[in-house]
Each structure stands twice: as C-alpha cells, then as structure tokens.
Structure 1
C-alpha cells in the first residue's frame, strides 16, 4: 500500500484545530475592533497612505513602536491560521502567501468599513496596510518551515511503512487480460 504524506486523520485534526483557532481569533478581533468607544474626541478619518505612520513616528520611538506594533500584531495570527485551517502541506509557497495576505487585507478592509458605523471609531488606511503586512510577516516567518517539517515527517512515516517486498513508492499496478488492439 502506498502512503502519501501525513495520514488522513492527521490532516483532519490539523484542519479542525486551525478552524477552531481561526474562529476564536476572528471573534476576538471583532470584539476588539467593532465595540463602541466612549471617548470625548475621535481622530479624523485617514485615507492617505503612510500619513498616520509618519504622525506616529513624530510622537516618539516608544509610542510609535506601540501603535505600529498593535496594528502589525492584530491580524498577524491569520498568517498562520488560514493555511492551518486549509490543511495542505504540499502547496506552492508563493501562492499560499498571496492567498493568505489577500485574505488578511480584505478582512482588514472589511473591519475598517464596518468601523465607519461604530461610535468612537474612525477609518485608518494605515491600519489596513499594517494589518496586511503583519499577516505577511507571520506567514513568511512560520508557515514554510512548518510545512517542510510536516512533509518530512510524512515522508519518514511513509518510508517506515514499506517492507522489503514493497518499495516505498508502492507497487506498479498491472491490468491482466488486456490484449493488443487489431
């Protein structure tokens, strides 16, 4: 019998864990970003890319690091959770990155649009950019190594299951009673 990668039950467990963690994180993000704030003054809407980041940098290094870090970290777990919920260890790294960052950017844009109707919240295009950057950084830092580890672990399990009479790749199928056409 031929084994390919990690077992079916392992893939199901990985997808289930990824899906549960993804839903939990999205609920947390929704609670954090879409609850009304009782503030006396609201920042104006920022639709000019990098204007908010420049303003944060003028506040000082520690305040800028805190504000930029919050926006980078808010959706960064999606860079790992989306591929985890998808559950395929053998996929193109570039395609996975593009899909994950696109999904993260669209989710961030949806949050920004929903915030227009929430009291005390204002749209900031820099948050969308930083959220998407955080997703990309988390994906690039963790997902390729994790997929490589899963593929190597699956290959080792496939080699262990092969005996001397059956090579690791499996037997070549033969079809008996097939004649040559006239």
Structure 2
C-alpha cells in the first residue's frame, strides 16, 4: 500500500521540502565551518589527537561536569544534520536502517572535512574524537526524528465523511410510494372469496318458496 503526502499526488518528499532542507543544511554547515575555522588568539595549542577515545577518556578523568560539557558539545555540534540529511532524499534514504547508514556516512564525511580544515588553521587542532562524537550525535538525532519525518513525508489525509444530500423528488416519484401503497392494499384485500353452499343453503330457497 502506497502512502501519499498531503498535497502531492506521488509518494515521497516533494521538491519544495527537499529544497528547503538543502537550503537549511547549507546555511548551517557554513555557520559551523565559520565557527570552527576562524583563528583564535592563543599562546599555545595542544598536538592533534589521532587516537580514538583518548580525548573522551581525558574529559571523563577531569570530572563529570567537564565530561558532560565537552562530550555533550561534541554530540550537539552537528545534530541538525540527522534531521536535514534524510530530507534531501525523496524517500528519506530508504528504510530506517538504510537511511541511518546514509545519514551517518554523509554526516561523518562532513565532520571529517571540518576537522581536516581545522588542522590547516594554526590556532586550531584536529581531533578524531570530535568526528566520533559528531557522528554519534547525528545518529541519535536521526533515530529520534525518523518516525516524525516519515509521518510528515508519507502522510495520507483521512477521507472526510460525506453528508447525505437531500434530493428533490419529481411529482411522479413522490406519488410512487402512495400508488405502491394502494396497489399493495388491493392485493392484500383482493376480491371476496365465496364458499360453496352447504346443505342448509340448498334448503333455504325451498323454505322461502313454501312460506310464500
């Protein structure tokens, strides 16, 4: 059974929705790139981290507050991509897990490019854990939003019940029920049925003639 979105004769995301998602995605990526690549005034920078989970372990060792702040910031950095990337496809990239795989791959590539560009800025440092956290945040956002996105894209409006329309009957059609009633009454009553005369009835004329 195919589902059709409201206002669209074919299933899937309409071109307006996809164009709007692409525009929002472009604006967001440009804003994130500007924030990530602008030079900072610092005295020194730490070396780049290429060991997975090394920075995450160091943040956890600093205490729960520091861990929540840094890990949460890394996960929230590219969260909108988990919602906007599926909307670029007409069918949200396929089923839930197919769409998740495509979204995570595209989001991971965007995060990888940002980290590579950061390594070219003297006051910035590339960190592989940032890619891990960004990708994980995109995956969580996709899983949380996929159901609502599917309901939005493949929404089928409920049919409104039709009200009965009162039709004006012609004089002939209006008189038909009354004619039918009279015909049924004639059939029900019918002609009277007379029984055959019995012995008493045969003697009745003789008695009347004798009395006369």
For structure 1, list consecutive stretches of 5 or more residues without a partner in the other structure. 161-182
**Residue-pair matches, total:** 156
Tell me by how many angstroms 1:21 deviates: 0.7
Tell me by how many angstroms 1:73 deviates: 0.7
Tell me by how many angstroms 1:156 deviates: 2.5
Q: 2: distance between equivalents of 1:97 and 1:147?
A: 13
Q: Tell me, yes or no, if structure 1 residue 86 matches structure 2 residue 68.
A: no
Question: Equivalent of 1:38, from 38, 41, 54?
Answer: 41
Give 2:102's aligned residue. 99
Deviations 1:4-62 (A, max 9, x none): 61216971221121111101110111111111111112122111111100100111111
Give 1:5's aligned residue. 4
Structure 2 SS opposite 1:86: coil
Give 1:166's aligned residue. none
Aligned pairs (5 A) from 1:155-174: 155-156=156-157, 159=159
Aligned pairs (5 A) from 1:27-176: 27-88=30-91, 91-151=94-154, 153=155, 155-156=156-157, 159=159
Q: 1: distance between equivalents of 2:93 and 2:78?
A: 24
- Between 1 and 2, higher relative CO (CA 8 Å, sep ≥ 6) is seen in 1
Query: Which structure has the larger Rg?
Result: 2
Name which of structure 1's ranges 141-150 and 41-50 shifts more when overlaid on structure 2: 141-150
Q: Tell me, yes or no, if structure 1 residue 23 matches structure 2 residue 26.
A: yes
For structure 2, list consecutive stretches of 5 or more residues without a partner in the other structure. 161-212
Please say if residues 14 and 90 of structure 2, whose CA atoms lie closer than 8 Å, have aligned partners that are also in contact.
yes
Give 1:176's aligned residue. none
Please say if residues 18 and 87 of structure 2, whose CA atoms lie closer than 8 Å, have aligned partners that are also in contact.
yes
Distance 1:131 1:89, change over 3 A: closer
Q: 2: distance between equivalents of 1:131 and 1:98?
A: 15
Distance 1:14 1:38, change over 3 A: same
TM-score after normalising by structure 1 = 0.78
